[in-house]
Amino acid sequence: MNTSSVRSILVACVLSLPGLALASQAQAPSPAPMTSGADLGPTLPADYVIGPEDVLGILFWRENEMSGDVTVRPDGVITLPLIGDVRAAGLKPDALREVVQKAAGKFLNEVNATVVVRQVNSRKVFITGEVTTPGAYPLIGPRTVMQLIALAGGLTEFADAKSITVMRNDGGKMQILKFNYREVSRGRSLEQNLQLRPGDTVVVP
């Protein structure tokens, strides 16, 4: 028997010992946990309800042909494979999930649906007039009038900083709220720097 054969026998005997076998198993790398690549979407405010232009992920467990992303139409409705039209606007994601599960139950024996908000496009505030970048801005979290003005690049040199107004639709009734930029910027009358609501329009003359 040559030297190579003896070494092979010794290695086999050593590895067969119980203690060393356990140590060998302990050193073996454990498989990495599986992670989901699903996009969980943005962090939603507590008062969020689904609105037009929002993008939703409707996911059915083991029903890939029924799963996918949909955009809420201007009429507040989404269209799902097999189920058809479902009203989504005005509902919280969990409430929509219940509606979808009930509708899908007419066609599937076991329904496990999930509703994920991919993009929030319905919650917007608007600023117009003498600011650097007027337009629509998303309102995902709390935002004040002063913050929106800063987001829009600030006032132009022609702005009437004392006569800014916030137009707000409150239950079908239009409110006009005054905002004096100069006072607020100097730390006075801070109650004017109110939290904006979806649909508010800041007008800078």
Query: What are the tokens at 72?
Result: 């809420």
Q: Can you give the pLDDT at residue 119?
A: 93
Alpha helices in the chain (DSSP H): 3-15, 18-27, 93-104, 145-151, 181-185
Q: Can you give the pLDDT at residue 129?
A: 97
124-129 and 201-204 strand pairing? parallel
Fold exhibited by the domain 55-119: wza like fold (3.30.1950)
The whole-model pTM stands at 0.66
The segments of the chain whose pLDDT lies below 50 read 2-38
Q: Can you give the pLDDT at residue 39?
A: 54
Q: Can you give the pLDDT at residue 140?
A: 84
Q: Can you give the pLDDT at residue 105?
A: 92
Domain parsing of the chain, residue ranges: 55-119, 124-204
Q: Which CATH class for the 124-204 domain?
A: alpha beta
Q: Can you give the pLDDT at residue 184?
A: 96
Instruction: Convert the pLDDT of each residue in 51-91 to its tens digit.
Output: 999 999 999 998 899 999 999 999 999 999 989 999 999 99
Q: Can you give the pLDDT at residue 45?
A: 84
Q: 154 near 132, Cβ under 8 Å?
A: yes
Q: Can you give the pLDDT at residue 24?
A: 40
